[in-house]
Each structure stands twice: as structure tokens, then as C-alpha cells.
Structure 1
Amino acid sequence: MQRKSIIPKPLSEYDLRLLRIFVAVVEHNGFSAAANTLGITRSTISVHMSNLETRMQLKLCLRGRAGFSLTEDGQIVYRAVMELFESFDGFSLLVNTLGQELSGELVILCADQLDGTKQQKLAEVIQKVHDLSPHLNLVLDGDSISDIERALLKDKAHIGLFPSYQQIEGLQYKEVFSEKIYLCCSNLHPFFNKTDNELSEHDLATANAVHPGIDIDLEGKSQLSKLNLSAKSYQFDTRKAMILSGRYIGYLPQSSIQQDLNLGLMRIIKPSECFYPFTLSMVTKKTARDSRKVEMITDIFNQVFNL
């Protein structure tokens, strides 16, 4: 016969007290150390833990000559309790901010180097955020797509700017900018002084080329499949440096190389054939803890980028 926990729904204040004692015992690796922190005797903690185990109908921990350790059930309960207490903290934070001017940090993370146009747009966003909420501490930084995704899901960031080739559950995406990515080489590469007609598919397929380092859309994968991908670089600026070396060809947005094109340092190869789309998206968590901050920053992005 399956045993059922006798802990009521919702949790009583007594149950929450027992769970806090349980967390203290786990974090101090035993009853004695927890007793000093909690200001109660070891025997009192033992009684409380026995009561908690009885109410849950679970064995949470082992104690004896071998020392203190959690059972498998105890480990699961500990993780669940930590999530519960974290949700309490989030609720308190939310309530404390209601009706008040926004404060604390507002974190914006970008996965790509921004060209001059997008930098100017982002500067306008920052200007509006500061004027609207001068007590916010703005954090603007760069990171990898996977790290930005994790930061958003864990409420460590409020908004991310990165290509939305692969969308994941829990995040929402909105396109803010789109442009074409072109195959190019530098003036140090053998292809530079050849016309497009002189460059065969075999030439392109055998030349050393740079892979962007992430999964991209089907059009991009199709273009990359035709090349000899012998190097990898995600960031536009580092990829550009590899191409400028004259040892590699690779795909870059025209906006990031326009000055080099004007100076004759780079050229685009077969622009009517060798390209794929690049879309920069504004990404937020669907159910963000700091929802007011996320709503404010997304509204400002919508204004500035005419979304």
C-alpha cells in the first residue's frame, strides 16, 4: 500500500519551519553545526527532523557513525525546497517593486558585434531607458548564444540580442534586423583578382573556409556545405580577421566589411549566388521574474527599431 504524506495543502507555517531547519541541516552537513546556526539544541533539531520525516512519510537523511548524508528522497526534497524558497524570494522582490520606480540592474546581452547603425540604435535605447528609469543600473555585455539563453531562462538577464536560427522552449523571439551574409575574401587571397566567372565551384569547394561555429538556417547550411570548412569562428570581428589573413574565405554581413570593401581590402564573391539571410532577434523569457523591466525594455526596442 502506497504511503501518503500528511503535510497539508497549502503548507502550514509549521511545515515551512521544519523545511527551513531541514535546509540548515543539509547546508551545515549535520545536526551539530546546524544547531549553532539556528540557536537551538541538537536534540531539538532531531525531534523536528523526525517530525518532518513522519509528516512526509519519507526517510530524508542518514546519521550515525558514518556521518550525515541525504537519502535519494532527501536529495530530491532538498532541491524542491530550494526552488520553493527561491520562488518566495522572487515573490517578495516582485511585490516590493510594484508601484515603485524601477531600480536594480537591467541586463542586456548581445551575441554579435554590432555595426555602426545598430550601435546607434542601441545607444538610443539606452538613452530612453536612462531617461525613463534613471535609478536603473544598466549592464550591457557580450556573450555566447548558449550562455545568453541560460541567463534569460534563469532570470539573470532581461533581454538578449542574437540570431534566432534555433528557438528554444521558454523564450520568445522578435526580429529586429535582417540582412544578407555574403561570401568574401581579402586582397591577400588568390581569389581577389579573379572575376566571378573565373571562379568555379571546384575552386570554392577546395579553398580553406571559415565555419560560423553555430547551427544556422537551411539556406546557410546549404551554402556552407559547398565549402571546405577548415576553421571556425563565430564572432564577426574574429571571423573577419581570419579572412583578412588571406588564408581563408568566409561569410560576413556587408555592413561589417563595407569600409574594407571601399578601401579595396576585401571583395564579395558571387553576390547573386553565394549568400544567406542573417536575422538578429530580440529575445526575452516568456514568464520573466522582473516582468516590469522586460516590458519596459521591449517597449523601448519596439519604438527605436520600429517593430
Structure 2
Amino acid sequence: MPAIGTLERITQELDWNLLRTFMVIVQEGGITRAANRLLLRQPTVSNALKRLEGQLGRRLILRGPGQFQLTQHGELLHRECVEIYGNISRLAVVLREVKEEISGHVTIAMASHVTSPIFDEVLAAFREEHPKVTYTIDIATSVDVVQAVLQKTSTAGVCLVHRHNPRLRYQHMYREHFGFFCGPRHRFFGRAGVTMRDLRSEPLVSFKTDRTTDALRPVALLRAAENFEDRIVGTSSHLEEVRRMIVAGVGIGPLPIHVVERDVRDGLLWRLPPFENPPAVDIFLVTNPLVHLNRAEQHFLDTLMARIEATPPSERVYPPEFA
């Protein structure tokens, strides 16, 4: 164990860039992917990890053929790195708070398929009440939304949640239901009487999280229960691209029913079974209790939270007939 004097020297001399590189290595699960993300050569990233381990006098990652595993020290350091990175990324917000008072910037990380009247109404009302506030809405996968909130680069996130992180807070926003759809070029388009059995051998397009171990578990369980053949021919993390493939006739696929109601009316999509008890997925507002919010962020979240809590759960189910 390093002596106290050595530990003090480490805190004074440690290079933040090494910590950031280590954090990205862990997030990407390997040296090569981390190098690609950081736009660096693989040996540069590997040497950075070795330098960090040398400065700390600790092995942080066990690496070998088919092996990538954090040591206990690596896990502890990664948690601290996330916290440090989050605090640094918030410096601009904290400094801006001094001069902007109620004005400020609100950043929301959001999954691509989020359609919520509550959120839209709060955003509209907040804009009228606080016209100096500015906004950024970043679209990302649900996993990346949670990561952005954890790293404090977003005020909050709105997304699907598979597992709750104990360091974050989760407010249930609404429940949506998924249906299967086909596009105008598909042989089932406009056809009544199609059964689940008819769909079993159809090529499928879906979301990357359409797995029994991920956020769209209810959809994956339905496919498994109905003995759908494993014929997924297209995937995407974004609803717009899943919708594009369905409309283009690449395959049938799942979409939130309330999100694509207009497409159905416009003749771009056709609803397929099941028509009763479709898969239900919950959407959450995710926040980080350790983040230092500016007044605009705090007031926006307080307003959104209050509106969610004031709306009965039965009125936060889409489409409403499944409440």
C-alpha cells in the first residue's frame, strides 16, 4: 500500500487526461474501441492505462485473450472518475448561474420515440413563463441517456429503463403500448383477419433493445411466446429508422401505437395483431440527485415533476384504451 506521502504526491501529480482515458476504456469495454472514440492510436491509449496504473501502484483492468475485467481498485476508480467528470462538465453551468439568475440552459437527453403530452405542455408553458431560458434536447439510446445523466452532462433524461441505477432517481412518466406494423408494400397491408400465426415466419425489423435482457423485454417476450422465427433483418436504436424500414417493406416491426397513429391514418402503416393486451413499456424521467442545477434547470424539473405527480396514472397510459 502506498505511504501517505506517496498518496499526497499522486493527488498533486495525477493527470486528468489519464483518468478520462481510463473512464472511456471502461465505457467502451476495450482499448481498441476506446481509441476509436478518442480518435487516438491504440498504443497511445494502452500506454495511458499503463501510466495510470504505474502512478497509482494498482492494477486496474485484467486483460487477456477474451478477458476484460475491472479489478476492485478499477471499479472504485471508475466510480470516482464518473463523479469527477460530471463535476467538471458542470463548471460552465455553475459559473453561468452567477450572472444568469433565472435564465439558463436546460439539457434533456431523450430516447427517440418519446411522445408525451405532459412533457410538451410543460415545455410550452415554461417557455412562455421564462423566455430567456434556452434548451438542448439530445436524442440517444436509453443506455446513453442514463449515462449522460450519470455523468451530469444532461439536466435529466427521458427513456426506457431496464435496471435502476441506485445513484439516480426515477420518476415514472407514462406507459406506452407497442403494436406490430407493416408498410404499404407488404402483403398484409390493408388486410383484415391476419393472425399471430401468420406473422411467425415474416422478416422482422426492430430496436436494438428488443431482447429479453434489455429495455424492450415485453416485446421480445411476446415474440418468444408466439414462436416467432428469429428472422430479424434490420435493427436500429432510433424509432425513425425502425419506422423507415417498416414503411419501406424491409419487414414488419414493433412501434409505440400512440406515436404512429397519424402514420396509420395517412396510410403509411398498417396495424397487425395482437390487438388485445399489446406489450407495455414504461418511460421514466431520470435525474441525478448529486448534480448542481442552475435555477432554470431546477425550476423546469420541479414544474415537470409536479405536473407528472398531479396527473393520475390512468391518464398517463397511451393509447388511453389500455389504461
**Range into which the TM-score falls when normalised by the shorter chain:** 0.5 to 0.7
CA distance in 1, matches of 2:82, 2:161: 32
User: TM-score, normalising length from structure 1?
Assistant: 0.64
> Is 1:233 aligned to 2:236, yes or no?
yes
CA distance in 2, matches of 1:7, 1:291: 38
CA distance in 1, matches of 2:144, 2:100: 31
Q: Secondary structure of 1:224's match?
A: helix
How many residues align structurally?
251
Question: Bigger CA drift: 171-180 or 137-146?
Answer: 137-146
Matched residue, 2:4: 5
Shift of 1:83: 7.3
Question: Bigger CA drift: 231-240 or 123-132?
Answer: 123-132
Matched residue, 1:162: 159
Q: Any gaps of 5 or more consecutive residues in structure 2?
A: 19-49, 59-76, 312-323
Q: 2:287 aligns with which of 274, 284, 287?
A: 284
Matched residue, 1:216: 215
Matched residue, 2:173: 176
Distance 1:274 1:184, change over 3 A: farther
Matched residue, 1:205: 200
Shift of 1:87: 6.0
CA distance in 2, matches of 1:82, 1:165: 21
CA distance in 1, matches of 2:283, 2:255: 14
Distance 1:4 1:207, change over 3 A: same
The letter of the residue matching 1:111 is A
> Is 1:147 aligned to 2:144, yes or no?
yes
State, as a whole percentage, how many aligned pairs show the same letter.
17
Residues 152 and 160, structure 1, Cα contact 8 Å, conserved in 2: yes
Q: Over the residues paired in the alignment, what is the CA RMSD in angstroms? A: 4.1
Residues 181 and 277, structure 1, Cα contact 8 Å, conserved in 2: yes
Residues 104 and 297, structure 2, Cα contact 8 Å, conserved in 1: no
Residues 104 and 295, structure 2, Cα contact 8 Å, conserved in 1: no
Q: 1:269 aligns with which of 255, 259, 272?
A: 272
Matched residue, 2:105: 105
User: TM-score, normalising length from structure 2?
Assistant: 0.62
Residues 223 and 274, structure 1, Cα contact 8 Å, conserved in 2: no
Q: Secondary structure of 2:219's match?
A: helix
Matched residue, 1:36: none
1:240-295, Cα deviation, whole Å (9 max, x unpaired): 11111223111112222222322344322223357201222111113223275554
CA distance in 2, matches of 1:6, 1:183: 64
Residues 82 and 150, structure 2, Cα contact 8 Å, conserved in 1: no
Q: Any gaps of 5 or more consecutive residues in structure 1?
A: 9-14, 28-68
CA distance in 1, matches of 2:126, 2:14: 40
The letter of the residue matching 1:199 is T
CA distance in 2, matches of 1:146, 1:140: 16
Higher gyration radius (CA): 1
Q: Secondary structure of 2:105's match?
A: strand
Matches within 5 A, 1:37-186: 72=53, 74-75=55-56, 97=97, 101-115=101-115, 118=116, 121-130=118-127, 133-186=130-183
CA distance in 1, matches of 2:180, 2:118: 26
Question: Bigger CA drift: 82-91 or 131-140?
Answer: 82-91
Residues 288 and 294, structure 1, Cα contact 8 Å, conserved in 2: no
Q: Secondary structure of 2:260's match?
A: helix
Shift of 1:149: 1.7
The letter of the residue matching 1:209 is L
Shift of 1:186: 2.1
Shift of 1:89: 9.8
Shift of 1:99: 11
Shift of 1:170: 1.8
The letter of the residue matching 1:221 is A
Matched residue, 1:187: 184
Q: Secondary structure of 2:178's match?
A: strand
> Is 1:256 aligned to 2:281, yes or no?
no
